């Protein structure tokens, strides 16, 4: 299950999370974002209780997007212990995302 995260709940839900977290930075007008979204949804089912999955609409959460230097979307960012540990920019195959996830689990 992929949940929404905003500027207001980012610190609580992501930085203080007890398990690693993957955030999908996206926007409704972004075509490649719509290609990545179903892959992220599927992976959220595959990694239940091992990894938290969130989506952040960059149009509605500009502060966090700016703080993390989001210049292109989709951007998938992986956090562990409150720190950014990896990221992927652009529409990539599921295998690339799994490789990134495997490195932190």
Query: Residues 21-70: pLDDT tens digits?
Result: 999 999 999 999 999 999 999 999 999 989 999 999 999 999 999 999 99
- The residue from 21, 33, 36, 76 that is catalytic is 33
Is 6 designated active site? no
The CATH superfamily holding the domain 3-102 is Glutaredoxin (3.40.30.10)
Q: Which residues pair with 76 in a beta bridge?
A: 24, 88
Mean pLDDT of all residues in the chain? Answer: 95
Q: What is the DSSP string of the chain?
A: --EE--TTTHIIIIIT-SS-EEEEEE-TT-HHHHHHHHHHHHHHHHTTTT-EEEEEETTT-HHHHHHTT--SSSEEEEEETTEEEEEEES---HHHHHHHHHTT-
Q: Give yes or no: 30 in active site.
A: yes
Catalytic residue among 22, 30, 56, 97: 30
């Amino acid at each position: 299950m992929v949940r929404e995260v905003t500027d207001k709940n980012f610190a609580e839900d992501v930085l203080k999370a007890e398990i690693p977290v993957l955030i999908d930075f996206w926007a409704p007008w972004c075509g490649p974002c719509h290609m990545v979204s179903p892959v992220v949804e599927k992976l959220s089912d595959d990694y239940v209780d091992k990894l938290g999955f969130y989506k952040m609409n960059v149009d509605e959460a500009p502060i966090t997007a700016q703080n993390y230097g989001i210049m292109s979307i989709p951007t998938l960012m992986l956090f562990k212990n409150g720190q950014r540990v990896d990221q992927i920019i652009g529409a990539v195959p599921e295998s690339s995302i799994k490789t990134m996830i495997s490195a932190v689990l």
